Structure 1
């Protein structure tokens, strides 16, 4: 499989006094720092790997034990970014913790979309972005060579499970003296979050988690229910789901839904008489029979490149695009071009998609989580009729034979049951966490409420009026009372009928 599928198919602190509940200070007098509870923060600028703008924040760290059972052993610093409420005013005592996805995404690196989605919430509450251990500024599990630079994965090597395992082995070896991957799982992450909560002096939190972050939020709620006021989970991952094991089915469903939308649109149906799924299969079969060497311009550097396109190139692009309707609307025209022998757009977009994933996911941390929590529960199933074949999961878990990990506790896969108020959000066209996942989790949440955003993909916090809906919920902490009527204005994104856009 292509590198796209590998990434997509990507602790306990010292005990602090329970009475440390002081609000953030006005500053230290010299304008260089301020405290929130026990943590000192200093001004910082947060910039994401793919964001076009920066976010001004306050940044600090909290030292925690890498191994929860060896508090006198190696310690690591958790990076914490604080977005002060209402332009540096003192916020309400129950801050918001945003939990990023992946696994392997750093919360501080998605500060721009998070600050936009929670802009109304931030008028009254402080927002904290804690980089999960192994990501961002929290002792990242980065694969480094002897020269200290990133250990590259050979793009020209045959994409086999054996090559993935070999790379994982080299990566694990490079971590010696820096990190022990066994201690970078969800269980340690939720204890880290609670250590940060105690250090800040907050008695209760409002949790907002996206994608894999929804699993972290569920586990935190189960372990520390007394410290949770409200929970928003967007792109819901059930605790008992094997992450990566169901991609073939969820992607297939998303492509079928996208095809149906084109059929319903007169302009799209006329321009593309062959539906998207069928066209995708046609192009993949053609490349399987005869891979094509393509000359094109790298969309990031404008440099001339030459790559060999295979079926993995096509399916990797389709999978990446399916996350966002704005991108998947390009898929019909790109596939149509390829079906007519014009592969340059496909090659350029495929490279850009692969680069974007590379920049956002820490591969080592992802392996620590999925090899401990998901791989041991994976049961291969016959999926020969799917666009994504059974080998996808094999590649997704291939590193686990070489990556140091322990099997997660049995209760880590127990479905959440809680009387807490929880707002569950799903995108109608989500290719990895479809609405049925949220419905599954909702069964254990009598005070939960599920909203499906029409025409949306993976991640809905910034869709339409969703920021207002989320703010309303966090204000009241009553999920069942949320009025989501304004979301009725959401619609599907029309497919491009040419590279100039869609027809009016």
Structure 2
């Protein structure tokens, strides 16, 4: 499953299924000027100066131009940071919303909404007034960017729209050898398509590559250290940056953690358990309402959901969409999964399941469209469903042997009966990926960094809570803020306890108490 809240939230919002995905932040400041921390007092910012070959990239300044109420600019980065070649440079798309109080501006706040593959440009363009509390927006320029290979930044395009429809609609829980081979065929189509579209770029789309780009962006906006908000996969990017450039870490928040040391199997197993926990919470809520379509008790409703998936697998439902006329099990599971990212969508999920029980797949297909960033009627808004593999498969390779996924499915399903097989087989493209993996899973420490704030949500479906604790324990200088709640990520969508603590950290430099529970 993807691990990004922003694109999902926007898509659900356009369907009028969520009334308020972002809770109004309550900043704990009272209008006093921000207090500078040691990281803002002119201390040497860099662990080491950039190499001579990288110096031209670090010395560039962005040419900001007005664009639709924001400011836009292009950043040049090398395709290969180890061997820069100006003829192969990439262009990173960047947007800015300037701080309202320029006289007391602290600096820039770079944001990444997750994915991998979600557009930071779209995130800031669509939600600049909901990123951080009012005081954060008062004192920080908000900076959104599309990482390399994503959205507007030299996007990788692996499959045409029809082929991507086939990829996503394929049975994600194969029952026999022919279905396994069908899944492998689609995985190979994705992998081969990425290599054919961008044979050089596909080798340089790792998270470490993107983190090095982010350091050039930090320099280009004129900040000695990086102030950053990373959500979901954005935490992987942020912690990777911190480990590469620990002395350049400013005020960094990592919300809904994906630890860089997870293997592909560990990621799948953890997400399977996370979606199982979120499904349990949804079903418990569903049966308290009148007319839950799956059953009268949580146990009966879980059985009802599993039976519905099996029925759709055997006989897909009509969707009313000529571009995707049948709701397959693949589409159905995406539709259910997307609503688990935010409890505000549970009501629309219940309505869609009621439709499905009567033989109508329209509601679940609309939810699946939201998950995949797909337009009803066909076509995709961006390349999220392709770039997620292009990045993940460089970071976390997997086995080419189908028997490995059979074992994963058995093991995951023992802990997560509803979602285990889906998450087990979901990594198959990384087993046939054409580009050699980058460094592979590894622990991060960020020795000597300023304090990093890690945030975890107890019933997060996509990034389980224990991963936030895991990263806090790995980092040399980090604190953990815990939110006891549902949905994916916490800051800006949970409650004033989390929001106030993070706002105070950004604006006043007050590090939350380690172990704060909200």
Smaller-chain TM-score range? 0.7 to 0.9
* TM-score where L is the length of structure 2: 0.74
Contact 2:229/2:252, CA 8 A, preserved across alignment: yes
Runs of 4+ residues over 6 Å off in structure 1? 10-13, 268-271, 482-485
1:259 aligns with 2:283: yes
Partner of 2:395: 373
1:162 aligns with 2:193: no
d(CA) in 2 for partners of 1:128, 1:68: 22
Partner of 1:215: 236
Partner of 2:503: 471
- Provide closer, same or farther for how the CA distance between residues 372 and 272 of structure 1 changes in structure 2, counting only shifts above 3 A: same
* TM-score where L is the length of structure 1: 0.75
The secondary structure found in structure 2 opposite 1:229 is strand
Partner of 2:346: 328
Partner of 1:153: 164
Contact 1:222/1:416, CA 8 A, preserved across alignment: yes
Partner of 1:28: none
Contact 1:254/1:429, CA 8 A, preserved across alignment: yes
CA deviation after TM superposition for structure 1 residue 142, in Å? 2.4
Contact 2:245/2:446, CA 8 A, preserved across alignment: no
1:82 aligns with 2:96: yes
d(CA) in 1 for partners of 2:54, 2:219: 10
d(CA) in 2 for partners of 1:474, 1:330: 35
Partner of 1:15: 55
1:131 aligns with 2:146: yes
- Provide closer, same or farther for how the CA distance between residues 137 and 355 of structure 1 changes in structure 2, counting only shifts above 3 A: closer
Partner of 2:197: 174
Contact 2:372/2:385, CA 8 A, preserved across alignment: no
Per-residue CA distance 1:423-459 (angstroms, 9 max, x = gap): 2223333211021211111223465333333433113
- Provide closer, same or farther for how the CA distance between residues 266 and 472 of structure 1 changes in structure 2, counting only shifts above 3 A: same
d(CA) in 2 for partners of 1:391, 1:456: 21
Deviates more, 1:225-234 or 1:386-395: 386-395
Deviates more, 1:416-425 or 1:57-66: 416-425
d(CA) in 1 for partners of 2:426, 2:355: 29
The secondary structure found in structure 2 opposite 1:359 is coil
Partner of 1:319: 337
d(CA) in 1 for partners of 2:312, 2:507: 53
Deviates more, 1:132-141 or 1:355-364: 355-364
d(CA) in 2 for partners of 1:253, 1:437: 15
CA deviation after TM superposition for structure 1 residue 219, in Å? 1.1
Matching residue within 425, 428, 451 for 1:397: 428
Partner of 2:492: 462
Contact 1:453/1:460, CA 8 A, preserved across alignment: yes
Partner of 2:310: 285
Partner of 1:294: 318
CA deviation after TM superposition for structure 1 residue 218, in Å? 0.5
Contact 2:443/2:474, CA 8 A, preserved across alignment: no
Per-residue CA distance 1:268-324 (angstroms, 9 max, x = gap): 889951424222112123334x4144253x5xxxxx777333433332211111111
Contact 2:336/2:364, CA 8 A, preserved across alignment: no
Deviates more, 1:210-219 or 1:152-161: 152-161
**Where does the alignment leave 5 or more consecutive residues of structure 2 unmatched?**
8-49, 172-182
CA deviation after TM superposition for structure 1 residue 241, in Å? 1.9
Per-residue CA distance 1:10-55 (angstroms, 9 max, x = gap): 999841598x7xxxxxxxxxxxxxxxx822111112xxxxxxxxxx
- Provide closer, same or farther for how the CA distance between residues 339 and 423 of structure 1 changes in structure 2, counting only shifts above 3 A: same
Normalized per residue, the structure richer in helix is 2
- Provide closer, same or farther for how the CA distance between residues 272 and 393 of structure 1 changes in structure 2, counting only shifts above 3 A: closer
Contact 1:211/1:459, CA 8 A, preserved across alignment: yes
- Provide closer, same or farther for how the CA distance between residues 356 and 452 of structure 1 changes in structure 2, counting only shifts above 3 A: farther
Contact 1:295/1:344, CA 8 A, preserved across alignment: yes
What is the aligned residue count? 437
CA deviation after TM superposition for structure 1 residue 144, in Å? 6.9
The secondary structure found in structure 2 opposite 1:110 is helix
Contact 2:398/2:427, CA 8 A, preserved across alignment: no
d(CA) in 2 for partners of 1:270, 1:172: 44
Deviates more, 1:93-102 or 1:269-278: 269-278
d(CA) in 2 for partners of 1:420, 1:478: 12
d(CA) in 2 for partners of 1:161, 1:314: 20
- Provide closer, same or farther for how the CA distance between residues 138 and 313 of structure 1 changes in structure 2, counting only shifts above 3 A: closer
**Where does the alignment leave 5 or more consecutive residues of structure 1 unmatched?**
21-36, 46-55, 299-303, 488-504
The secondary structure found in structure 2 opposite 1:141 is coil
Question: How does 1:331-350 map onto structure 2 within 5 Å?
Answer: 331-341=349-359, 343-350=361-368
d(CA) in 1 for partners of 2:305, 2:151: 36
d(CA) in 2 for partners of 1:269, 1:367: 36
Superposition CA RMSD, Å: 3.5
Contact 2:256/2:489, CA 8 A, preserved across alignment: yes
Deviates more, 1:229-238 or 1:358-367: 358-367
The secondary structure found in structure 1 opposite 2:387 is helix
Partner of 1:43: 66
Deviates more, 1:231-240 or 1:118-127: 118-127
CA deviation after TM superposition for structure 1 residue 227, in Å? 1.2
d(CA) in 2 for partners of 1:404, 1:136: 22
- Provide closer, same or farther for how the CA distance between residues 257 and 420 of structure 1 changes in structure 2, counting only shifts above 3 A: farther
Contact 2:501/2:512, CA 8 A, preserved across alignment: no
Partner of 1:106: 119
Deviates more, 1:277-286 or 1:351-360: 351-360
1:94 aligns with 2:107: yes
Partner of 2:27: none
